[in-house]
Chains A and B, each alone.
Chain A
Amino acid sequence: MNRIDKTFQALRAEGKKALITYVVAGDPGLKQTVDLVLAKAQAGADIVELGIPFSDPLADGAVIQAAAQRSLNRGTTIDGVFDAVRGIRTQSQVPLVFLVYYNTVLAYGREAFLGECKETGVDGLIIPDLPYEEREEMVALMDESVHLITLVAPTSEQRIEKLVRDAKGFVYCISTLGITGGGAGFFSGLEAFLAKVKSQTETPIAVGFGITKKEQVKPLLPMVDGVIMGSKIVDVIHQSQGDSAELDAFVRSIKIEFE
């Protein structure tokens, strides 16, 4: 069974919700990425999103753009990221989800990319620029070993039903009108939006984009199966120059909200 499904099943059995955290692979370096992911998993992250840096990340705000640029400047390659996944897998079975822009997948070759995901132990893909209308060209090549995660936005409205119909792993609910890192604040109809998504699918739903403070977490938990924290974590990593202990402490401070 896919590690994402196993994790949500176990959490559900205990009546708990998932903490999903993000990290840009290769910032500050790929070696640190392995340590940072392991530190997060130990500190209580239930699922880890690993961003593969891309030159033109059009769904990302300033914090993640800058992290991706730093990573690229250090020469991070796709194969390097797969090697980091191998490194993580020798010590942890935490579910790993790539946040990857579609051109990265195309440049590597779709089959080859999926083959490597399967072999190294990547459980899911979030491809922000591959919407429902275009996803068949990936879905046709995929099986249960890697899930293509469905994104749903506040503007999706009447599309929600068809978007979540065959959702695998979890449904990624975008909490804001905007890009990662917030600034826009939550979309005003967030509660109704999450309730609507929840009512249309059996697949777990997680909410992300713009969640930067631990105070934001608790009110969201009753409405969702997981909360995603991205830019804030990337910022913590950057400010501490990739210090695992500081990240550990930060993740633990968030995790308390889930108890």
Chain B
Amino acid sequence: MNKTKFGQFGGQYVPETIMNALHELEAAYRHYQNDPEFLEEYGYYLKQYVGRPSPLYFAEGLTKRLGGAKIYLKREDLNHTGAHKINNVMGQLLLAKRMGKTKVIAETGAGQHGVATATGAALLGMECTVFMGEEDIERQALNVFRMELLGAIVEPVNSGTKTLKDATNEAIRAWIHRVEDTFYVIGSVVGPAPYPEMVRDFQKVIGEEARKQLLEAEGCLPDAIIACVGGGSNAMGIFHAFMADEAVELIGVEGAGKGIETGLHAAAIAEGKVGVLHGMKTFLLQDQQGNITPAYSVSAGLDYPGIGPEHAALHEQQRANYVSVTDDEAIDALNALCLSDGILPALESAHAIAYVMKLAPTMSADQILVVNLSGRGDKDVHTIAAYKKGELQ
């Protein structure tokens, strides 16, 4: 039972009403995480429905352009629904089904996790409600429509900052209310235990595949793994398989928004203090009174004032290194990858590319970087267009 923390981080800081539900989830997860039948079913959907394994693509154009380390992209953008989110959703929904739950709820920021949950729920015949901040509903109208097409109910949240943080509060409140028949599908490595560990486990396939694919392609391990970090699920997913390979540097890239010094950013590790939100102890953007301050990033998926507790622990142990890049740098990187390799990355993933553009030229041609290209950018074209026109505040 003491497996709820990563060092001092994580835990189960939630109201008593949902403690039994968490224990029930934990017990079910412990039972099924090594159950061959469950893993076979999960593996079947990852292969036949999600389209795994995703390729590890040698980005010839970007490598040439930057003139340093060889760059490989783990193509999570090619998954069904366009991002890594579906890996986790399939795992949690199959678990929910085994637990006899017929209704699911989820929170969403940009809408990617909401779309993935609505997709999985449609596939498995479950009733799905997605909580989404009113601000995000406006910014991501297309994803709202997609969720509705998939039969989900999108519940607008108008409290607080009307974004992901508040959608998460509202999803937890709804879970407190409906805990007896409802499964809460959390979209990142955040929330109370066992979610951070469970979500990581449902994403670790990314790193396991990448490790094997790179060994096949190059016969060696990479010098560094790079992934963007909002809550941090795509990063934990690719980091996990390399955790024991101490020579492999793990780099998480936070959203620096308009620049750390402006206060308009989402860099919870760079600027946050240890606190408790959404059931976990971790680094949080907060004021002196402990009130959570709004995160900002051009990428709605990085726009979260906290970070998964395992990342907080990896930061404290200095096993992983956390850096940040600005909106401008991310947009430049997005443009660069479009032109160099014909790949339109999600704005989130463009943050990882932006850091690669700084790092790769400082490295030699026999060194290797693996980047988690966590999602595709189709969902972001309106945002990018507005940004280029200077319409974004």
Residues in A lying within 8 Å of B, measured CB to CB: 54-59, 61-62, 65, 69, 72, 77-78, 101-108, 128-134, 151-157, 159, 163, 174, 177-179, 184
Contacts and interface: CB of A to CB of B under 8 A. Distances in A.
A18 B98 CA distance: 45
Contacts of A163: 16
B159 interface: yes
Given A103-B290, A106-B290, A130 B13 contact: yes
Interface residues of B, number: 39
Nearest to A54: B291
A57 B292 CA distance: 11
Contact of B160 (A56, A105, A107, A155): A56
Interface in B148-204: 159-160, 165-166, 169, 172-173, 176-180
B264 interface: no
A62 B177 CA distance: 14
Interface of B: 1, 4, 11-21, 159-160, 165-166, 169, 172-173, 176-180, 273-279, 284, 286, 288-292
A154 to B, nearest CB: 8
Contact of A184 (B13, B16, B160, B177): B177
Task: Give the residue among A54, A57, A132, A133 with the most B Cβ atoms within 10 A.
Answer: A133
B290 A174 contact: no
B13 A134 contact: yes
Secondary structure of the B contact surface, majority rule: mixed
Nearest to A153: B17
Given A179-B176, A179-B177, A174 B17 contact: yes
Given A59-B15, A177-B177, 5 more contacts: A106-B275, A108-B290, A133-B19, A177-B17, A179-B177
A179 B288 CA distance: 27
A163 B20 CA distance: 12
14 contacts: A55-B291, A56-B166, A56-B278, A57-B169, A59-B176, A65-B159, A103-B286, A107-B273, A129-B14, A134-B11, A153-B17, A154-B17, A159-B20, A177-B176
A104 B290 contact: yes
A61 B292 CA distance: 18
A129 B276 contact: yes
Nearest to A81: B289
A103 B1 CA distance: 23
Given A55-B291, A155-B21, A128 B284 contact: no
The 4 closest A-B pairs by CB, nearest first: A107-B290, A55-B291, A153-B17, A178-B177
Contacts of A159: 16, 19-20
Contacts of A65: 159
A169 to B, nearest CB: 16
